[in-house]
Amino acid sequence: MLKEVEQFAQEFLKFSKDKPIRIISHYDTDGITSASILAKTFRRLDKKFSIKIVKGLEEDTIKKELIRQPKEVIVFSDLASGSLDYFQNLKEPIFILDHHELDSSKLNDKIKILNPHLTDNPKENECTGAGVCYLFSKTISTNNQDLSPLAIIGMIGDRHESDLSKVNQQIVRDTHDLNIRKGIVLYPATRPLRRALEWSTSPYIPGVTGDGPGVQNLLRETGIGYDKSLLDLSDDEMSKLITAIMIRRAQHDRVEDIIGNLYILKFFNTKEDVREISVLINACSRLGYHDTAITYCLGSEKAKARALDIYTEYKQELVSGLRIAEKMDKVRGKGFVILNAKDQIKDAIVGTICSMLSSSPTYEEGTILIGMAYNEDKIKVSARIVGREGRNLKEVLENTVTEFKAQNPETIAEVGGHHFAAGCLVEKDKEISFIEALKKELEIEIVKI
C-alpha cells in the first residue's frame, strides 16, 4: 500500500501548499482518532486547519462543506467512500482517507482517495480510518510514528483487534508501550475487578452488571480479592472468573464470545485499557462533545478530566437504561421484541442498550430487538439481532418503512445501517402507525418460514 500512500501524500501536500485545510470526520472512535491524527500532522506542518465531526454525510452537509472550495482543501476521514454519488461534478479535488467499501466505478480524477479496498491486496492492507490516516501521516514524516497509539485506539474502536491484518500488525509494531494479552474482555483490565464487573455492559452479565451485591457474590464465589484487576489475576483465577461469568450468561453463549485480546497502552503516562479509552472517546463524541473527544486524543489534561466526567455520566445512563429496558413492558412476538422506551431512555443510547441486550442470555438466538426512544418530535428506532444469524435488519426496516409510507406518504423516514444493526428516524405523532407497520413486517416473515 506504500506506493499508494506516497502518491496520495505527495498530491495532497502539493495541493494544500498555501491553503487552509478542512477535516471532515466520522463521529465514532475511529473517526475521532482519524481527525486527531490529521490535526496533529497538520499542526506539525504548521498548517491552518479546522475540523467538522459528523454522524453521516448527507447531501446537505456535503454541499455546505464544498462551498469552502477553492479557498480551502477538503479532507474526509473515516467516511465518504459511500458518498461518491455526491462527488460527480467537482470543480476542485477532494481528498478521502477511508476504509469503507466503495463502488470504484464512481471514482473520477477529482476524487483523490486512499482506501485499502483500492489496493492490490485489500486483505493484507485492511485497516481502519485511523490506520489509513496514520499511514498517510507517517509517510509525511517518520516523526509522526508517535501517533500510532491513536491508530491503535481506532483499531479497537472499529473492532479489528482479533485477526490482525499485515498493516495492523505493522501499526502494533510501531507502538511502544503496548501490551497485548489474551483474557476475558472485561474492561478496564487495569482497574479493580469489582468496578469492571459492576460497569460491565459488554459483555453484559445478568445479576452482576449494575448490581453491587451481585458483584460481591461473584468475587466471593471465585475467591478473587476485591481490589485485584484483571491484569493481576493468576491463570487459575482467570479461569474461575470465566466460569463464573459463563454460568451467568449461559444459554447460547460461547467462551470465544468473552475471550479476546486485551490491549494495554501507556496513554497520558498511565497504563490504560485501550477498550476503555475507545469507549470513553465514543461516549464523549456520541453525546455531542466532539471537541473534548479530540482534545483528549491530542493529550490535553483538561480535556481528560472533562472526558472522564462525561464518561462516568454515560456509564450511569447506560446501566440505568439497561435496568429500565429490562423492567419495561414490551411488545413480544415470535422472534422479535419491541422496546418502546418513549422518553424513559435517551435516544442517543437506545441503540447501545439494544446491542447490550442482544448479547444478554435473556433472548434466543436470532431474536430481533427493536428499541424506540423519543428525540424531540421524532422517534429514534434501533434494530439489533441476538447472535450472528438471522434476518437482514436493514431490509427489515426498509420493508417496514415502505409499508409505513403507503399509509403515511408525507413521512421523512429513512433507514441506515447494515445486516446486523440498523436504525431509522420517524415522526413522533406517527408512533402507533409505525409500530403497526413494524409488527406486520416482523410477523410476515414468520408466516413465510
Closer residue to Mn ion, CB minimum distance, 122 or 361 = 122
Closer residue to Mn ion, CB minimum distance, 128 or 340 = 128
For residue 192, count CB atoms less than 10 angstroms from its CB and return exposed for 0-12, middle for 13-18, buried for 19 or more: middle
Q: Does position 210 bind Mn ion by CB under 5 A?
A: no
**C-alpha cell, 123:** 486483505
* Long-range contacts of 10-19, Cβ-Cβ distance < 8 Å, separation of 24 or more: 11/93, 11/95, 11/112, 12/73, 12/75, 12/95, 12/112, 12/136, 13/140, 15/73, 15/93, 15/95, 16/47, 16/73, 19/71, 19/72, 19/73
Closer residue to Mn ion, CB minimum distance, 8 or 27 = 27
CA 203 to CA 197: how far, in whole Å?
9
Stretch that binds Mn ion, among 38-46, 75-83, 174-182, 328-336 (CB under 5 A): 75-83
Q: Select the residue interacting with Mn ion from 65, 72, 158, 253 (CB under 5 A).
A: 158
* Min CB(29)–Mn ion separation in Å: 8
Stretch that binds Mn ion, among 78-86, 383-391, 399-407, 410-418 (CB under 5 A): 78-86
How distant, in Å, are the alpha carbons of 13, 39, 91, 203 from that of 21? 11, 10, 17, 40
Q: Does position 30 bind Mn ion by CB under 5 A?
A: yes
Closest CA to 441 of 402, 388, 387, 385: 402
CA 30 to CA 159: how far, in whole Å?
10
Q: Does position 161 bind Mn ion by CB under 5 A?
A: no
Site string (103-132) toward Mn ion, x via CB under 5 A: -------------------------xx---
CA 78 to CA 30: how far, in whole Å?
7
Q: How many helices (H) and strands (E) does the chain have?
A: 17, 14
Contact (CB, 8 A) for 156 and 261 = no
Three-state secondary structure call for residue 438: helix
* Min CB(52)–Mn ion separation in Å: 17
Closer residue to Mn ion, CB minimum distance, 36 or 209 = 36
| Total interface residues for Mn ion by CB under 5 A | 5
Site string (367-386) toward Mn ion, x via CB under 5 A: --------------------
Q: Does position 78 bind Mn ion by CB under 5 A?
A: yes
Closer residue to Mn ion, CB minimum distance, 129 or 423 = 129
Closer residue to Mn ion, CB minimum distance, 30 or 198 = 30
Closer residue to Mn ion, CB minimum distance, 17 or 418 = 418
Stretch that binds Mn ion, among 49-57, 153-161, 162-170, 334-342 (CB under 5 A): 153-161
Contact (CB, 8 A) for 416 and 423 = yes
* Min CB(369)–Mn ion separation in Å: 24
- Residues lying near Mn ion in the complex (CB under 5 A): 30, 78, 128-129, 158
